[in-house]
């Protein structure tokens, strides 16, 4: 019967690190301002220890009965690459402005998400940008077009 530490043990230790960070960030505050964060830090610490304890109890079970693992390469790879696209989009938004960044991101992410029909991709991209421009910039006066490289050029 194969046994191994349940992933909740590792998750619990990460939670404990977060709890200690909450304490650490509030060490130099006056007692009034620090009371609530310290109290919450204490509660987070107790809960982290409970998560570790439950993880250790689950570790006694055979691997097959421990349930599916949440943090595997297979479970994380695609979502993290997708998040990478989101981060790149954020950087591009900063540099080039919303409409340029969005035009590129929609095409790139649709291709990444296995959409192959170029006419449909381009049609969705164009319609989205037009609708958002008229709804947000023209009707709601959101100055998203004044941002980034394109904004500076305009």
Partner 1 sequence: MVDFGNILAGFQTLLSLESIIALIAGTVGGMVIGALPGFSAAMGVSLLIPITYGMGPVAALSMLTAMYTSAIYGGSITAILCHTPGTPASAATAIDGFQLTKQGRGMEAMGVATLGSAVGGTFSAIAMLLIAPALGAFSLKFSVLEYFFLSVFGLTVIASLAGDSVIKGLFSGILGLALGCVGLDAISGFPRMTMGVIQLEDGINFVPALIGLFSISQVMSLAWDVYHGKKGSVIEDEENLKKSRSLPPFKEMKTLFPTMARCSIIGTIVGIVPAAGAGVSSWICYSMGKKFSKHPEKFGHGALEGVASCETGNNAATGGALIPLITLGLPGSSVAAILLGGMMIHGLTPGAAMFTKHANTTYAIMIGFLIANILMGIVGLFAARYIAHVSAVPMGYLGPVITALCFLGTFAIRNNLFDVGVMVVFGLLGFILKRCGFAAPPMILGMVLSDICENNWRRAVILANAKGGMLSYFLSRPISIVLALLIVVSLFSPMIMSYVDKKSKENVTK
Q: By the criterion CB under 8 A, which residues form the site for partner 1?
A: 7-8, 11, 15, 18, 22, 25-26, 29-30, 32-34, 36-37, 40-41, 43-44, 47-48, 50-51, 54, 70-71, 75-76, 78-83, 85-87, 89-90, 93-94, 98, 102, 105-106, 109-110, 112-115, 120, 124, 128, 132, 136, 140-144, 147
Closer residue to partner 1 (CB): 1 or 24:
24
Q: What angle do CA 39, 45, 49 make, to 5 degrees?
A: 150
Closer residue to partner 1 (CB): 1 or 119:
119
Closer residue to partner 1 (CB): 21 or 63:
21
C-alpha 52, offset from chain centre: 24
Those residues whose C-beta lies under 8 Å from the C-beta of residue 86, and which sit 6 or more positions away, are none
Max CA-CA distance within the chain?
68
Count of CB atoms within 10 A of residue 128's CB? 13
CB of 136 to partner 1, least distance (A): 6
Closer residue to partner 1 (CB): 1 or 152:
152
Count of CB atoms within 10 A of residue 42's CB? 13
Closer residue to partner 1 (CB): 1 or 48:
48
Question: What values do phi and psi take at 17, rounded to 5?
Answer: -65, -40
> Which residue carries 């009034």 as its tokens?
32
CB of 148 to partner 1, least distance (A): 9
CB of 149 to partner 1, least distance (A): 14
Distance of alpha carbon 12 from alpha carbon 55, whole angstroms: 8
CB of 18 to partner 1, least distance (A): 7
């Amino acid at each position: 019967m194969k046994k191994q530490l349940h992933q909740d043990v590792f998750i619990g230790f990460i939670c404990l690190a977060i709890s200690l960070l909450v304490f650490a960030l509030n060490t130099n505050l006056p007692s009034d301002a620090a009371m609530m964060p310290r109290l919450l830090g204490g509660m987070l610490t107790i809960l982290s220890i409970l998560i570790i304890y439950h993880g250790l109890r689950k570790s006694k079970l055979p691997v097959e009965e421990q349930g599916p693992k949440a943090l595997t390469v297979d479970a994380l790879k695609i979502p993290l690459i997708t998040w990478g696209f989101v981060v790149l989009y954020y950087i591009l938004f900063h540099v080039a402005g919303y409409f340029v960044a969005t035009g590129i991101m929609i095409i790139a992410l649709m291709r990444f998400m296995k959409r192959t029909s170029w006419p449909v991709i381009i049609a969705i991209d164009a319609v989205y940008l037009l609708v958002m421009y008229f709804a947000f910039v023209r009707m709601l006066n959101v100055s998203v077009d004044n941002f980034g490289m394109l904004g500076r050029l305009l």
